[in-house]
Structure 1
Amino acid sequence: GGGMSGGAVAEEVISLTRGPSGLGFNIVGGTDQQYISNDSSIYVSRIKKDGAAYLDGRLQEGDKILAVNGKDLKDLRHKDAVELFRNAGYDVSLKIQRRLQPQNGPVSHRGDGESSGLSLAALLVPGLALAAAAVWVVLRYRQRM
């Protein structure tokens, strides 16, 4: 196979210590139940609150798990992958791959019609009031003469 080039990906190795409830996350994927079509990789589907992975904080839902304790998770059936996690022992080393979000600049919010309308009114109203007062004074002044 040739090296696949494409989106930016970051590989990371995370060591987890199995807690009372195991590693504390669910996986999806495998050759027999592909999570993404034509992709039999194993993905983290859910991280259980207060489990080992949750407390560690590095593993994220949606991360792809490439290997467990150095054993490749390539082209395994789902239950075989689950077995590998089950039998991984107390200290488990996970090689994962994150999908990096494309770096976009700050999202520019289009000016809300309302707020710009308000500020315009705030500027106009005192001006109008002043103009009206000036006109009224001038008219009064004229009448007196």
Structure 2
Amino acid sequence: MNGGVGCDRSEEVIHLTRGPSGLGFNIVGGVDQQYIVNDSGIYVSRIKEGGAAALDGRLQEGDKILAVNGKDLKNLLHNETVELFRNAGSEVSLNVQHRLQPQNGSAGYRGDGEPGGIPLAVILVPVLAIAVAGMWAFLRYRQRM
């Protein structure tokens, strides 16, 4: 999973007020559960509908969270980070690195929490077409023998 390579990033501080269902997003990553190869950072994996993050609108799936209330998230285990979020209080300040989409039209990120690239159908359809054409040519060749 190497979704961060080749994408520019911008940083922002986002202040959220904890709602009835928390901050309204899920995270992945940490020293023990790397989401992106050779990167132990913490990433937003899902924004919950109607949650504090969704209502604010600035935090996006795929964003990297650099700090919570000024506490750097570098070199933390996933569970340590979860506890940090749980104990952050009702007013939470997030230092966030947004992922910017490449300008060449390539999606690069599917939006479902997983890094993406070329959709499978783009590769699969031409390969299947070549295989069918090859099989047809082989069968025609055998009929003539």
Question: TM-score w.r.t. structure 1 length?
Answer: 0.66
**Pairing 1:58–2:30 present:** no
- In the TM superposition, residue 7 of structure 1 has moved relative to its aligned partner by 4.9
Equivalence for 1:77: 77
Equivalence for 2:14: 14
* In structure 1, distance between residues paired with 2:54 and 2:7: 27
**Pairing 1:32–2:32 present:** yes
Equivalence for 1:124: none
Deviating 4+ runs (over 6 angstroms): none
Equivalence for 1:87: 87
* In structure 2, distance between residues paired with 1:103 and 1:46: 24
Query: SS in structure 2 opposite 1:85?
Result: helix
Note the residue ranges of structure 1 that are not aligned, 5 or more in a row.
1-5, 106-145
* In structure 2, distance between residues paired with 1:100 and 1:17: 25
Q: Kindly indicate which of the two structures has a greater share of residues assigned to helix.
A: 1
Report the number of matched residues: 100
1:19 maps to a residue whose letter is G
Query: SS in structure 2 opposite 1:97?
Result: strand
- In the TM superposition, residue 98 of structure 1 has moved relative to its aligned partner by 1.0
Equivalence for 1:42: 42
* In structure 1, distance between residues paired with 2:60 and 2:11: 13
* In structure 2, distance between residues paired with 1:101 and 1:48: 22
Question: TM-score w.r.t. structure 2 length?
Answer: 0.66
Deviations 1:60-99 (A, max 9, x none): 0010000000100001000000011001101000000012
Note the residue ranges of structure 2 that are not aligned, 5 or more in a row.
1-5, 106-145
